[in-house]
């Protein structure tokens, strides 16, 4: 006999446990639909037809094909067959309509039972373009209810539906299991109040209320994009489980002592949360409170309300042309336009962004922490490169106005009075452009494309503007994903370039200004050009020291280093390096393996000089992820690196030997300040 298990909190059903319940089971284990349901689909008989109830995608999905079939099942929850979903192509989904949705404005909650697989499901209300309404949807997540024979309940929060204008209300399902998934007992029940979709302006427009926020000029109803509120019977257990994950896996010396208590306090506040949005956004905010480059929350809410980005990139700099017209902020660097695409909403290289909604751009971006699920920041408190890089996405999504000084390349001058423009008037997403903190490329040939998409590629060549006899060459790359393969693409590309430099160059620029990180072996290979062999630090696997606050004293740190240097060393350098070859390393936004790389060469030789806009991210760790299909995922940084001097390193970025910020005058003239400075230094150090 089938039994309904108690509300569960565990890996089988995630971290969930829903308050409201729809269908239930009698004493024999037979599923009983909710008496208030406006639709109940058991995938057989008159309730469902595989062909007529299948909804064609609103837009062509390419080579996606329907992957669902009806199969007999003696253990179906209702009737004798279930829907078997098996979508073999990533990104493809099947859609099945609800029949007979009332022609009125109402709010509905969907439930479905899942077995033998993993799906990402959402309740979707589709409207015609003529209606003026936008498609809205609500994600489904595990409720914590399961049966003794393996069925797991998924449910959505309440989705407002305008039944008078509705074209179709359907369940959309992505399949994440190689053998497919089974679904049964799809139900739609009226629940909650209808909420009109409202226009808004600015992230925190009060018109969106406590349950929403403003994104792309429309109120996003937060509950649609998070799991249901955990049931009171298990809500405290859910919080306890979250605390356990944070306390067990997260952090290192600096972040555990400074940031973890603040995050745990935020988690504790969730015990009294009264809505799904307050609870799950509060959890995501607790993750963001951990203040770590590797630690972040992710969710469907990041993509709600529209899309688009400015076709321009921003960078930290020095506004030497407009300094007299607008003073420099005492805390944050000036923000300049680094480079633009074909259309950039009137922005041009060298323009100075001075305010967003009246605030310094960095302060404004940091102020979005309460709702920005894409929030990303360095472990080192002094570093804001990540926030500046994301401005091109954040502005069209959350801002009302931007204020900037416009500059003219032909005259080299900038306007003395800043312009303030409405974000709603800006054109976004016109063409593809990557922000890699390089205003322009400078190899004599073989440069990356105009879209600045370096990706996983390596670009090597002579530096333009230098004499042939100087033999100054450069390598431009972003990633260090060696993946433990000595002859894999990253490691072999570095080795090949380094061999050419040792044979033919008199000076080298290593341009890693979009340091996306990677693996330790990639960082190790990157150090072999410019120093002899050694052990720069040790990194212990977090499994070996979970719930450890790290060394409190130098003596404790040295003891750890000495105990682990033969087990997990960061082995840098090579006996075949060229001590006479000067190497200029360019950094701007660098973390993880891209922290390890400069740390391994810092101070190694007078012939090695690091140029950077400031410290690196200080992300000397790895991370764990919880990434189930659905509306919420997160990752927690874990572990620390201990330097040869006994110092715990996480949270302390690598300091450049010379701080070089892009000058506004150089950008207006199309020059790269950091490359110019590196070339000047190399010329004083050229290999004979």
Residue 9 has pLDDT above 70, yes or no: no
The average pLDDT across 516-534 equals: 97
- The pLDDT of residue 369: 96
R_g (Cα) of the chain, nearest Å:
28
More confident: 7 or 540: 540
Residue 610 has pLDDT above 60, yes or no: yes
**Which letter, b or e, does each residue of 372-381 get, where b requires 16 or more Cβ atoms within 10 Å of its Cβ?**
bbbbbbbbbe
β-strand partners of 419: 404
Task: Give the per-residue SS3 of 105-142.
Answer: EEEEEEEEEEECCCEEEEEEEEECHHHCCCCEEEEEEE
pLDDT classification of 17: cutoffs 50, 70, 90: very low
The average pLDDT across 375-402 equals: 97
Count of residues for the chain? 688
Q: Which residue has the tokens 């715990």?
A: 648
The average pLDDT across 641-652 equals: 96
pLDDT classification of 62: cutoffs 50, 70, 90: low
- The pLDDT of residue 10: 46
Report the Cα–Cα distance between both ends of the chain, in Å, rounded: 86
- The pLDDT of residue 83: 95
pLDDT in tens, 187-231: 999 999 999 989 999 999 999 999 999 999 999 999 999 999 998
- The pLDDT of residue 14: 44
pLDDT classification of 11: cutoffs 50, 70, 90: very low
- The pLDDT of residue 308: 82
Question: Where does residue 92 rank: exposed (0-12), middle (13-18), buried (19+ CB within 10 A)?
Answer: middle
Other beta carbons within 10 Å of 345: 18
- The pLDDT of residue 654: 98
**What's the CA gap between 629 and 186, in Å, rounded?**
19
Q: Are strands 632-638 and 622-626 parallel, antiparallel or unpaired?
A: antiparallel
Q: Is 175:119 a contact under the CB 8 Å cutoff?
A: yes
Residue 45 has pLDDT above 90, yes or no: no
Residue 513, by phi and psi: left (phi above 0), alpha (psi -120 to 50) or beta?
A: alpha
Q: What is the DSSP string of 147-197?
A: BTTS-EEEEE-PEEEETTTEEEEEEEEEE--TT-EEEEEEEEEE-S-----
Q: What is the DSSP string of 342-371?
A: S--TT--TT-EEEEETTB-HHHHHHTTTTT
Q: Which residue has the tokens 């589709």?
A: 126
pLDDT classification of 621: cutoffs 50, 70, 90: very high
- The pLDDT of residue 161: 97
- Rounded to the nearest 10 degrees, the angle between the axes of helix 232-249 and helix 260-268 is 170
Residue 21 has pLDDT above 60, yes or no: no
Residue 459 has pLDDT above 70, yes or no: yes
Domain boundaries, the chain: 24-197, 200-227+292-435, 437-533+573-618+653-688
What CATH number does the domain located at 24-197 have?
A: 2.60.120.260
pLDDT in tens, 231-279: 898 899 999 999 999 999 898 999 999 999 999 999 999 999 999 999 9
Q: Is 631:141 a contact under the CB 8 Å cutoff?
A: yes
- The pLDDT of residue 408: 94
Residue 423 has pLDDT above 60, yes or no: yes
pTM score = 0.93
Question: Where does residue 390 rank: exposed (0-12), middle (13-18), buried (19+ CB within 10 A)?
Answer: buried
What CATH number does the domain located at 437-533+573-618+653-688 have?
A: 3.90.226.10
The average pLDDT across 595-614 equals: 97
> Dihedral of CA 154/177/631/123: which sign?
negative
Residue 499 has pLDDT above 50, yes or no: yes
**What's the CA gap between 548 and 45, in Å, rounded?**
58
Strand, coil or helix: 287 = helix
pLDDT classification of 3: cutoffs 50, 70, 90: confident
Strand, coil or helix: 648 = strand
**What's the CA gap between 238 and 206, in Å, rounded?**
30
Mean pLDDT over all residues of the chain?
A: 92
Which one, of 242, 125, 213, 108, lies nearest residue 172 by Cα? 125
Residue 52 DSSP code: T
- The pLDDT of residue 679: 98
**What's the CA gap between 611 and 675, in Å, rounded?**
9
């Amino acid at each position: 006999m089938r039994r309904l298990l108690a509300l569960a909190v565990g890996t089988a059903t995630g971290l969930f446990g829903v308050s409201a319940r729809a269908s239930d089971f009698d004493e024999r284990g037979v599923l009983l639909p909710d008496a208030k349901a406006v639709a109940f689909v058991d995938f057989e008989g008159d309730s469902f037809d595989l062909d007529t109830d299948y909804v064609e995608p609103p837009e062509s999905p390419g080579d996606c094909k329907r992957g669902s079939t009806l199969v007999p099942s003696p253990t179906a929850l209702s009737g004798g067959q279930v829907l078997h979903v098996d979508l073999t192509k990533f990104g493809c989904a099947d859609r099945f309509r609800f029949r007979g949705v009332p022609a009125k404005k109402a709010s509905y909650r969907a439930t479905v039972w899942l077995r033998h697989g993993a799906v990402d499901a959402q309740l979707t209300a589709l409207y015609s373009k003529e209606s003026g309404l936008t498609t809205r949807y609500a994600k489904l997540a595990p409720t914590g209810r399961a049966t003794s024979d393996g069925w797991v309940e998924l449910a959505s929060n309440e989705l407002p539906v305008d039944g008078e204008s509705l074209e179709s209300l359907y369940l959309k399902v992505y399949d994440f299991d190689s053998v497919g998934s089974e679904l049964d007992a799809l139900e739609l029940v009226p629940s909650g109040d209808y909420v009109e979709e409202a226009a808004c302006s600015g992230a925190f427009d009060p018109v969106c209320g406590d349950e929403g926020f403003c994104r792309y000029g429309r109120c996003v109803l937060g509950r649609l994009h998070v799991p249901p509120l955990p049931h009171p019977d298990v809500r405290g257990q859910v919080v306890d489980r979250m605390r356990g994950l944070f306390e067990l896996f997260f952090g290192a010396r600096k972040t555990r002592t400074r940031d973890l208590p603040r995050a745990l306090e935020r988690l504790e506040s969730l015990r009294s949360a009264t809505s799904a949005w307050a609870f799950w956004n509060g959890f995501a905010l607790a993750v963001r409170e951990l203040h770590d480059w590797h630690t972040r929350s992710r969710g469907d809410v990041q993509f709600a309300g529209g899309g688009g980005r400015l076709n321009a990139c921003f960078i930290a700099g020095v506004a030497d042309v407009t300094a007299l017209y607008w003073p420099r902020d005492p805390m944050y660097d000036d923000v300049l336009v680094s480079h633009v695409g074909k259309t950039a909403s009137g922005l041009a290289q060298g323009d100075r962004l001075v305010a967003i909604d009246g605030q310094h751009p960095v302060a404004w971006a940091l102020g979005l922490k309460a709702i920005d699920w894409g929030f990303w920041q360095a472990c080192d408190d002094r570093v804001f490169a990540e926030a500046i890089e994301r401005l091109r996405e954040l502005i069209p999504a959350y801002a009302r106005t931007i204020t900037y000084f416009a500059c003219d390349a032909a005259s080299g001058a900038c306007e003395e009075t800043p312009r303030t423009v409405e974000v709603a008037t800006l054109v976004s997403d016109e063409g593809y452009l990557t922000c890699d903190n390089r205003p322009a490329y400078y190899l004599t040939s073989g440069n990356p494309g105009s879209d600045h998409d370096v990706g996983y590629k390596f670009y090597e060549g002579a530096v333009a503007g230098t004499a042939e006899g100087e033999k100054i060459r450069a390598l431009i790359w972003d990633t260090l994903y060696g993946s433990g393969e000595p002859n894999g693409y990253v490691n072999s590309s570095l080795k090949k370039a380094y061999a050419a430099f040792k044979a033919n160059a008199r000076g080298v620029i290593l341009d890693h200004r979009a340091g996306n990180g990677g693996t330790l072996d990639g960082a190790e290979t990157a150090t072999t050009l410019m120093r002899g062999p050694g052990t720069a630090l040790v990194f212990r696997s977090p499994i070996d020291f979970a719930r450890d606050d790290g060394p409190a004293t130098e003596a404790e740190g040295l003891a750890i280093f000495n105990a682990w240097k033969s087990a997990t060393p960061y082995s840098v350098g090579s006996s075949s390096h060229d001590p006479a070859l000067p190497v200029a390393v360019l950094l701007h936004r660098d973390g993880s393996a891209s922290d390890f790389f400069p740390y391994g060469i810092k101070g190694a030789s007078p012939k090695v000089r690091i140029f950077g806009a400031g410290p690196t991210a200080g992300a000397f760790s790895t991370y764990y992820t919880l990434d189930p299909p659905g509306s919420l995922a997160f990752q927690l940084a874990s572990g620390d690196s201990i330097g040869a001097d006994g110092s715990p390193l996480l949270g302390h970025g690598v300091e450049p030997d010379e701080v070089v910020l892009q000058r506004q005058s150089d950008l207006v003239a199309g020059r790269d300040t950091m490359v110019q400075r590196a070339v000047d230094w190399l010329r004083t150090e050229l290999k004979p």
